[in-house]
A and B are shown apart, each in its own frame.
Chain A
Amino acid sequence: MRALTWHGKHDVRVDTVDDPEILNPRDAIIKITSTAICGSDLHLYDGYIPTMKAGDILGHEFMGEVVETGPGSTLVKGQRVVVPFTIACGSCYHCGKHQYSACDNGNPADNQDIGMELYGQPMSGLFGYSHLTGGYAGGQAEYVRVPFSDVGPIVVPDGLSDDEVLFLSDILPTGWQAAENADIEPGDTVAVWGCGPVGLFAVQSAFLMGAARVIAIDHFPRRLELARKFGAETINFEESKTYEALMEMTGGIGPDAVIDAVGLEAHGFFVDNVVDQIKASLMLGTDRIHSIRQAIVACRKGGRVSMPAVYGGIVDKFPLGAFMEKGLTLKTGQTSVQHYMPGLLNAIVEGKIDTTFLISHRMSLEDAPKGYKMFHDNQNEVTKVVLKPGFDAGTAIAAE
């Protein structure tokens, strides 16, 4: 089959590799019909995530048709399914508590050592996201092997297009969990750093959860425009000072809840960020954390901090004093996709949530390297690239 493989920083290629096979009873093989490039794929593209190996197949947002099942799978050939990016067994203690992203068993035993070294406990398995999270082949390919297929994939009802449901795989539940982690109370003002897909879905979700005002922060005009479409007020941090603007907009109180949907590659020309960049290039620290610092400082006293943003390593200059003195609460984590999928699919069916607005480009899997470069270089225009293995090379459809 053809698959998008990682070979190093800014080097991804479409290679011909062996087709996946059923290896465990609960496996299924999915023929991919749509697969997206995620903002967190850019962290891999930029070489920020350790334990990548040349030839690794990327992609953790995908859906398709069931073509083969193991004896323990509950799926049926021909079903259309969306697959969660987190690989969870459904039977361990954490899965029992619906903390699917903390599953004990999704990550192969040999790969769990790295997580223990880095984080104290092993990470769960994720598709196409380094060997730290299992070394699983991802879904930017013609076919993918899906373990624990009786737990993860959700069957798509007839009449819904790929575009309408694809983002159930990661970014929609991630945006929703981000808002849920902000413990929003009716009437709250919520500030969201980053208007990428997760930030935009967090904006939508925050309103659905009763927020009176949502303030979205970014520097890409196109993305801020999308946030405004959902009713958010916006701050362009290249035009205004974020902290000052937030304080003015909230009558000097600060937002009740803050959501950092930016993460370890925070952009922007700030002193602390430049120091982070220098340190990152010297391997002294791995994460650039401007957004979470700013969110903590801006948050009102006794407020809530939600951090869907991806961080990988150790940071310094974390405003622990502000965090403590103001009595803030922080919630974070990889998304327990399986927990949110059924409810969010329902919301899509009922027309409460629309995700199709996000897709700016559709192209052939063969053109995936071009898609990565476009997404990386032009984040203003390129909000989401969906790869279609069924398209001929060179076929590209930009959103209307």
Chain B
Amino acid sequence: MAKDDAPPTTSKVREVRDAETRTVQDAQGSSLIGRTVTINRPRAELYAYWRDFARLPTFMDNVQQVDVRSPKLSHWVVKAPGGRTVEWDARITEEKDGELIAWASTEDADVPNSGRIEFRDAGDRGTIVTATIVYDPPAGVVGQLIAKMFQREPAIQARRDLRRFKQLMETGEVATSSRTRAQLEEDKA
């Protein structure tokens, strides 16, 4: 097969994509969501904002709160259907100042998940930011329910989160077309 320059995550060949999934996160049978945006801000600034996980809810719509418990450990509260929430601890598994941050939920998480964000210089266009988020729901009925909850539109969610990050970094705010505060709250719920 002729090799091209496109990232393996975009391959039409399933085996190529799956292989990439494993190299990214050592995850098996999980759903990989990778997205890339270019943000018109310096790399160091973007890295610094993301590295403070407590600020993730400012642009991740489904994340209600992240408490940073230690330099490596954080506690996540994530919105679930029916006004409920799901919580887990996550640990930073790899970080390279200004370049990448990788994290993964700890062993006892109901929905094992991991993420990786990479920052690359893009010259006068700013910084190329690539996010990879992997959910690995457990088997069984409960697992299916959780899978549905997290997998239904995780690609869309990740893509939108990344866009919101871009908006926040470039403009200082997250764009909304709501007219009133009540509408805004309703849209976020």
A92 to B175, CA, bound (A): 13
Mask of A79-119 contacts with B, CB within 8 angstroms, 1/0: 00000000001111100100000001111111111000000
Looking at chain B's contact residues, the main secondary structure is helix
Interface set, chain A 100-142, CB cutoff 8 A to B = 104-113, 122, 125, 134-137
Smallest Cβ-Cβ distance to A17: which chain B residue: B179
Q: Given contacts A112-B163, A113-B156, are A26 and B173 in contact (CB under 8 A)?
A: yes
Smallest Cβ-Cβ distance to B153: which chain A residue: A113
Q: Does A72 contact B (CB under 8 A)?
A: yes
Q: Given contacts A93-B126, A104-B166, are A23 and B176 in contact (CB under 8 A)?
A: yes
Among B159, B176, B179, the one with the most A-chain Cβ atoms within 10 Å of its Cβ is B179
Number of interface residues of B (CB under 8 A): 27
Contacting pair B175 A108 (CB below 8 A): yes
Taking the closest CB of chain A, its distance from the CB of B122, in whole angstroms, is 9
Residues of chain B within 8 A (CB-CB) of A147 are 175-176
Contacting pair B179 A109 (CB below 8 A): no
Residues of chain A within 8 A (CB-CB) of B175 are 24, 89, 105-109, 125, 134, 147
Q: Does A21 contact B (CB under 8 A)?
A: yes
Residues of chain B within 8 A (CB-CB) of A23 are 176, 178, 180-181, 184
Taking the closest CB of chain B, its distance from the CB of A69, in whole angstroms, is 14
Partner of B172, one of A26, A113, A125: A26
A24 to B172, CA, bound (A): 9
Q: Does B79 contact A (CB under 8 A)?
A: no
Residues of chain B within 8 A (CB-CB) of A135 are 177
Q: Given contacts A108-B176, A145-B179, are A91 and B40 in contact (CB under 8 A)?
A: yes
Taking the closest CB of chain B, its distance from the CB of A326, in whole angstroms, is 35
Taking the closest CB of chain B, its distance from the CB of A92, in whole angstroms, is 5
Partner of A136, one of B38, B161, B177, B180: B177
Mask of A50-91 contacts with B, CB within 8 angstroms, 1/0: 000000010000000000000010000000000000000111
Contacting pair A111 B177 (CB below 8 A): yes
A246 to B131, CA, bound (A): 55
Contacting pair B160 A105 (CB below 8 A): no
Contacting pair B172 A92 (CB below 8 A): no
Partner of A105, one of B126, B166, B180: B166
Q: Given contacts A112-B163, A113-B156, A113-B159, are A89 and B170 in contact (CB under 8 A)?
A: yes
Contacting pair A92 B177 (CB below 8 A): no
Smallest Cβ-Cβ distance to B163: which chain A residue: A109
Residues of chain A within 8 A (CB-CB) of B179 are 17-18, 20-21, 57, 137, 145
Taking the closest CB of chain B, its distance from the CB of A114, in whole angstroms, is 11
A292 to B173, CA, bound (A): 40
Residues of chain B within 8 A (CB-CB) of A18 are 179-180, 182
A148 to B171, CA, bound (A): 9
Residues of chain A within 8 A (CB-CB) of B174 are 24, 108-109
Q: Chain A: residues with CB nearer than 8 A to chain B? A: 17-21, 23-26, 57, 72, 89-93, 96, 104-113, 122, 125, 134-137, 145, 147-148
**13 interchain pairs, CB-CB under 8 A:** A20-B180, A24-B173, A24-B176, A26-B171, A72-B173, A93-B126, A105-B175, A108-B174, A122-B163, A134-B177, A137-B177, A145-B179, A147-B176
The 8 closest A-B pairs by CB, nearest first: A109-B163, A109-B160, A24-B173, A136-B177, A89-B171, A135-B177, A20-B179, A105-B167
